[in-house]
Structure 1
Amino acid sequence: MAPFAHARVNVDAITSNARLLRERAGGTPLMGVVKADGYGHGILPAARALLAGGASWLGTALIKEGLELRRAGITVPVMSWIIPPGEPVGEAIEADIDLGVSDRAVLEEVIAEARRLGRTARVQLKTDTGLNRGGVSPEDWESVVEAAARAEEEGFVKVSGVWSHFACADEIGHPSIRAQLDVFHRSLDVAEKAGLEPQVRHIANSAALLTLPEARFDLVRGGIASYGLCPIPDFDVPGLRPAMTLESKVALTKRVPAGSGVSYGHRYLTEHETSLALVPLGYADGVPRAATNKGPVLLGGRRRTIAGTVCMDQFVVDVENDPVAPGEYAVLFGDPEEHPNVPTAQEWAEVLDTIPYEIVTRIGARVPREYVGGA
């Protein structure tokens, strides 16, 4: 029996998006970012769809994500970049995963593991150009680069990349963009003077890929845009298609009189006699409780709004006098090309004062993914 609710993922849309991003980047090689279970779409289906679209690298936040790709038989270059103490660095080296190095301690751990294994570790040095999150601080950059160069001479590491990340690339013209590019160029100069010859230099995320040709260098990273969602509000990217549709069957409907309070706290009151439809998805499934009286839903051919408090497992929609019946699908968000008038993840983000990344990545594990398209 088919599940009553699912997140349907169109892998052809992901493949098409990858091709589009490569075109928008002028043919610069593309790293398809598949961290956080492929932004909620499924790490392995997303990875394969991105490779089919021309991605030549894959990127993950965690080593365990990179190892999952390797265990699935994916052999293209993979980079993993968040390495807290205790992570399986040795396994990553043996799996030929590029390790993002953000400080001296991580570099030393990688060198020690490479020495123990008798292997050469591939590392990508991250320079903090102004995000002030991960990355080697400017005052420490030269010493870390020199340490990496010594380790490379000894055969323990190969510095395969130098990279960074923008803070405000989604705000076109923000002064920090130019400032970060300047720091990145200086960081590259330091690496060159130390004798390093990285295979790839990269700083462009989805937003920079779309708007900053000068930030492309040797590789661009397609994150949220790979899944059809633009990181820049009100910026149109023709051909970019949302890959995920979240929908659920209506569990039941009932008639209630005017003045009826709906759901916890009676935060919604019916204005007249009306029909209510119960949708069995809630905040345990990733529907934010903050969507109470705000979240848009397509049901019975019309746009509607969640009525009352979003509960752990369910929410209610006021369908008035429309003939909505149990078993009909309520669509929370999807691709307008597939469903005319369907809300998008971007609209959900705007309603909830967040970003579409959060909307798609928070869909819970008990909502099965259903994959359509692909070979």
Structure 2
Amino acid sequence: MISPLKSAGEAVVDLAAVAANVRTVAAATGTAVMAVVKADGFGHGAVAVARAAVAAGATWLGATSAREALELRAAGLTAPVLSWLHPPDEDFARLIAAHVDLGVSTVAHLHAVAAAARTLGRPAHVQLKVDIGLSRNGAGPDDWPELVAWAHKYETEETVRVRGVWSHPAGEPATDREIATYEDAVRVARAAGLDPPLLHLANSVTALAVPRARFGLCRIGIALYGVGPGLRPVMTLRSRVVNVKRVPAGTGVSYGPDHVTDRPVTLALLPLGYADGVPRAVRGRAEVWLGGRRCPIVGRIAMDQCVVDAGDLPVRLGDPVVLFGAGPGEPTVDEWARWAGTNPHEILTGVGTRIPRLHQYGEVRHQ
């Protein structure tokens, strides 16, 4: 049982759930697992999540920036790290020195990495990314042969070591056509003289749904945080009531007012708003867990606060409220995503920085 909430809001992060999700995916796929901890671990705390994931058997960590990758190294994490989104003038030398694998998608990036490696006098570990239809990062079909040719040249010079060829599907999950395109790219890389030991294509949904796409490693992002069938939700976002009003029918609530009560009700004020990750788009749809039941958020959501219609519940100042969590009856992050017209990724990463993260092992229990 955790201590009562001491702040306006708190994101309770169950690290035991992180560990359980790693084990679940590894058992389901039969492959190695990369725990993707970009965006501060999807808002959960990258270092704490990474430690729990590695302890549970994750063999790789994934990041999208030098800052994220080096934060893991500064925290003492020695597991292999892949960092894959950098400007071409990145200071690659510090990443090479920290034994971070570099995702490379263009010849310009590869030249910059090789130059940094020559300066250091040690080879850079790179993983070449091919674009199979997402049209974001990754070398397209016209650029891929040149990229792998240069990579082979630099490998021959012992400036780089190509440790992987990878991609990301646009399909949810990956389509047969995308998988075939990826396999063709691997053949082109091998024909150019490369022999990458690591092949990976599958993200969370593909890892769990498409055995053909698993290869030797699956990258799990949203699955790591408990979104998906058979997985344990990791974050509980909770707050407490800071004001209570009993109002008659016909009372306007928040700006506008866009909402007017149709009966006498108790209104409970929560000190969380859109600056804390409560999207304005959920008004009129979102519910919270208060007093043992679901209650709707009513009126416009403000920057720092929102109002809950508690009906006739005997609400008191300081009563605990769960916005989303894993307990019986509590709204889930999937529901919040649906109410906001977005995905769970945006809800989790949107939880604001002024909301403290409480890391613990075991499920949340409220006093």
Give the TM-score, by structure 2 length: 0.96
Question: Structure 1 residue 292: deviation in Å?
Answer: 1.6
Deviations 1:254-276 (A, max 9, x none): 11111011001111110111110
Q: What is residue 233 of structure 1 aligned with on the other side? A: none
Is structure 2 residue 310 aligned with structure 1 residue 312?
Answer: no
**Matched residues in 1 for 2:172 and 2:129: separation?**
17
Counterparts of 1:91-130 in structure 2, within 5 Å, are: 91-130=94-133
Q: What is residue 267 of structure 1 aligned with on the other side? A: 258
**Matched residues in 2 for 1:85 and 1:189: separation?**
27
Q: What is residue 134 of structure 1 aligned with on the other side? A: 137
**Matched residues in 2 for 1:193 and 1:321: separation?**
72
Counterparts of 1:1-375 in structure 2, within 5 Å, are: 2-26=6-30, 28-170=31-173, 177-230=175-228, 237-238=229-230, 240-335=231-326, 339-373=327-361
Q: Secondary structure at the match of 2:134?
A: coil
Counterpart AA for 1:98: D
**Matched residues in 2 for 1:331 and 1:86: separation?**
45
Q: Secondary structure at the match of 1:277?
A: strand
Question: Structure 1 residue 188: deviation in Å?
Answer: 0.6
Counterpart AA for 1:251: V
Contact (CA 8 Å) 2:203, 2:218: kept in 1 or not? yes
Question: Structure 1 residue 282: deviation in Å?
Answer: 0.4
Question: Structure 1 residue 351: deviation in Å?
Answer: 1.4
**Matched residues in 1 for 2:248 and 2:7: separation?**
32
CA RMSD of superposed structures (Å): 1.1
Question: Structure 1 residue 4: deviation in Å?
Answer: 2.8
**Matched residues in 2 for 1:86 and 1:268: separation?**
52
Deviations 1:189-240 (A, max 9, x none): 111111211120000000111011111111110110011012xxxxxx22x1
5+ residue gaps, structure 2:
363-367
Counterpart AA for 2:26: R
Contact (CA 8 Å) 2:172, 2:206: kept in 1 or not? yes
Counterpart AA for 2:335: E
State how many pairs are aligned: 358
Structure number with greater CO (CA < 8 Å, separation at least 6) is 2
5+ residue gaps, structure 1:
171-175, 231-236
Question: Structure 1 residue 117: deviation in Å?
Answer: 1.3
Question: Structure 1 residue 64: deviation in Å?
Answer: 1.0
Question: Structure 1 residue 169: deviation in Å?
Answer: 2.4
**Matched residues in 2 for 1:261 and 1:124: separation?**
57
**Matched residues in 1 for 2:281 and 2:213: separation?**
37
Question: Structure 1 residue 85: deviation in Å?
Answer: 3.3
**Runs of 4+ more than 3 Å apart:** none
**Matched residues in 2 for 1:265 and 1:102: separation?**
49
Give the TM-score, by structure 1 length: 0.94
